[in-house]
Amino acid sequence: MELENNVYSVQGVSLESLTHEYGSPLYVYDGDKIKHQYHKLKNAFKAVDVHVKYACKALSNVNILKLLKNEGAELDCVSIEEVQLGLYAGFAANQILFTPNCVSFDEIKQAVTLGVKINIDNISILEQFGHEYGNTVPCCIRINPHIMAGGNKNISTGHIDSKFGISIYQLRHVVRVVKTNNIHINGLHMHTGSDIYDAEVFLQGAELLFDAAKDFKELEFLDFGSGFKVAYKEDDITTDIEDLGQKISKRFNEFCEEYGRKLQLWFEPGKFIVSESGYLLVSANVIKQTTATVFVGVNSGQNHLIRPMFYDAYHHIINISNPTGTTRVYTIVGYICETDTLGWDRKLNEVREGDILAIKNAGAYGYSMSSNYNSRFRPAEILIEGGESRLIRRRETFDDIIRNML
Ligand SMILES: *Cc1c(COP(=O)(O)O)cnc(C)c1O
């Protein structure tokens, strides 16, 4: 987003004018930024055979999937419905990795039938998989390396209490199950959780995976999951992708020598690819002075962007309607009948009722986590590509609210 001649715009398209055309609240995505992030990651790892599997739960509009497919990305799906969406978007089955957690074996069988790659995250399912398919269908194993990453337990999936993956300490048992059932293991996977900015944390996890890999002779890839940190505030520390790329690639190539074969290196970023591309544009409905603060009540809330309430996530907020106004301190809240605070004690250019606020980093886990709570409609979505904006999802209507009610 740039500020030029007092107009906030993306690729030359004024954000405020988009709300005049399509209404608010409105999700807007910068398609060029999405491409930029994808290629930045690809380039950082050009010394290895890197495959980027976009974690589509972050932002699952089919137009975004198509955009990434055209750039060369592949897909990471966590539900059979996401697999269907990926196929619908035009991904080939073998470009899709299915990484579910706590799903029924029936759902795994459906995924096998669709021809996608399978990632198994518990020993019970691994045994059933062995009984059903023997070595006729390969699968990947999701390892939990128990690396604590980031500060928030809800978004860190590698720690000891986590429900994700098979503990690295159970590796002996896993090897027994694999041998006894003659299962073809084609990959090992770990996803340590979000918000890692330290190359050392990645490398620690990598060593554990390299060590585990020695027990499996038919590997084709190692999947290092995701967790690249992106900037939410001006001075946020972020993952230095170039540095990470150099360090990991070097060590990965050494490992392939030891292993005796060139393997593919996979990543499954969600947030890194789409977070910064997205803006949620909302209107200031009411300015409400209380004894404690000045509230700006907007026409959105936890129904459209739940991350601030769910994860205590910081999302920067800007008044795009009054770029030259005096800055004042506000608390920005939603219109939902819950305490849905989008931001406490924020300095914004003076907000007047009717002004449009832009909430940043709304590309990942914004729309995809939205709901109809309070029987509100989900917003429309706009994609800006090559300087042109287009509607990629209509705003919901009352028909969407009552569609399945009998
Ligand atoms: C959610 C998820 C990701 C993506 O995480 P981000 O923090 O958005 O990059 C990757 N892999 C798996 C298995 C996931 O569940």
For the Cβ of 227 lying below 6 angstroms from any atom of ligand 1, the answer is yes
- 158 pLDDT band, cuts 50/70/90, is low
Residue-wise DSSP of 348-376: EE---TT-EEEESS-TTTTGGG---GGGP
Give mean pLDDT, residues 189-203: 74
Give me the chain's average pLDDT, please. 94
Q: What is the CATH number of domain 2-29+275-402?
A: 2.40.37.10
Share of the chain above pLDDT 90, in %: 86
- pLDDT number for residue 235: 79
Give mean pLDDT, residues 120-146: 96
Our mutation pick for probing the ligand 1 site, out of 59, 189, 191, counting the most ligand atoms within 8 A of Cβ, is 191
CB 364 within 8 A of CB 275: yes
CA distance 270 to 38: 10
What does the pLDDT look like over 91-122, one tens digit per residue? 999 999 999 999 999 999 999 999 999 999 99
Stated as kind and residue range, the H or E segment containing 381 is strand 380-385
* 139 assigned to active site: no
Which CATH code of 3.40.50.1370, 3.30.1360.120, 3.20.20.10, 3.20.20.30 fits the domain covering 60-269? 3.20.20.10
Q: Which residue's CA is the closest to the ligand 1 atom numbered 2?
A: 55
CB 224 within 8 A of CB 206: yes
Q: Name the residue among 190, 189, 198 with its Cα closest to residue 150.
A: 198
Extents of the domains making up the chain: 2-29+275-402, 60-269
What does the pLDDT look like over 63-72, one tens digit per residue? 999 999 999 9
CA distance 336 to 189: 39
What residue type is 53 in one-letter code?
K
Share of the chain above pLDDT 70, in %: 96
- 150 pLDDT band, cuts 50/70/90, is low
User: Higher-confidence residue: 171 or 201?
Assistant: 171
- 145 pLDDT band, cuts 50/70/90, is confident
- pLDDT number for residue 240: 84
For the Cβ of 140 lying below 6 angstroms from any atom of ligand 1, the answer is no
For the Cβ of 58 lying below 6 angstroms from any atom of ligand 1, the answer is yes
Helix (H, G, I), strand (E, B) or coil at 198: coil
Return the DSSP state at 94.
G
- 75 pLDDT band, cuts 50/70/90, is very high
For the Cβ of 164 lying below 6 angstroms from any atom of ligand 1, the answer is no
Q: Name the residue among 24, 53, 111 with its Cα closest to residue 304.
A: 24
- 157 pLDDT band, cuts 50/70/90, is low
pLDDT score of 153 more than 50: no
The dihedrals phi and psi of 290, each to the nearest 5 degrees, come to -120, -175
What does the pLDDT look like over 171-182, one tens digit per residue? 999 999 999 999
Q: Which residue's CA is the closest to the ligand 1 atom numbered 1?
A: 55
For the Cβ of 269 lying below 6 angstroms from any atom of ligand 1, the answer is yes
Q: Give the distance (Å) from ligand 1 centre to CA of residue 271.
A: 8
- 197 pLDDT band, cuts 50/70/90, is low
Buried b or exposed e, range 326-363, using 16+ CB within 10 angstroms: eeeebbbbbbbeeebebbeebebbebeeebbbbbbbbb
Give mean pLDDT, residues 353-361: 98
Please give the torsion angle defined by the CA atoms of residues 63, 67, 72 and 73, in that order, rounded to the nearest 10 degrees.
-50
C-alpha 29: how far from chain center: 14
pLDDT score of 23 more than 60: yes
| Residue 204 CB neighbours (<10 A) | 14
- Which two structure tokens, joined as six digits, stand for 163? 């429900």
Residue-wise DSSP of 248-269: HHHHHHHHHHHHTS--EEEE--
Q: Give the distance (Å) from ligand 1 centre to CA of residue 51.
A: 15
Q: Which atom of ligand 1 is nearest to the CA of 194?
A: 7
pLDDT score of 234 more than 90: no
Catalytic residue among 139, 140, 256, 337: 337
Task: Name the least confident of 30-34, 45-49, 137-141, 236-240.
Answer: 236-240
The dihedrals phi and psi of 15, each to the nearest 5 degrees, come to -70, -40
User: Higher-confidence residue: 157 or 335?
Assistant: 335
- 237 pLDDT band, cuts 50/70/90, is confident
Q: Which residue's CA is the closest to the ligand 1 atom numbered 3?
A: 55
Q: Is the previous residue joined to 100 through a cis bond, with omega within 30 degrees of 0?
A: no
- pLDDT number for residue 195: 58
Q: Give the distance (Å) from ligand 1 centre to CA of residue 260.
A: 30
Q: Write down the H helix ranges in 294-344.
A: 307-310
